[in-house]
Amino acid sequence: MSKFMTRFLTDESGATAIEYGLIAALIAAVLIGTLTTVGTSLNAKFKDIEDAVKAG
């Protein structure tokens, strides 16, 4: 039982998986924020082009 507890307490593989999960979540949050901002700007540009085409 002592060997099991020692191995369990020194095992860091679960911590690594959690760290990778946190990194993936952070990257996803940054991508969502960036793409939302770019999408809004792009939508405004297309609206300007649409208005110019309709006026011309």
- pLDDT tens, residue by residue, 33-50: 999 999 999 999 999 999
> Can you give the pLDDT at residue 44?
94
Q: Is 11 left (phi over 0), alpha (psi -120 to 50) or beta?
A: beta
> Can you give the pLDDT at residue 39?
93
* Type of residue found at 1: M
Stated pTM of the model = 0.58
Q: What band does 5 get if pLDDT is binned at 50, 70 and 90?
A: confident
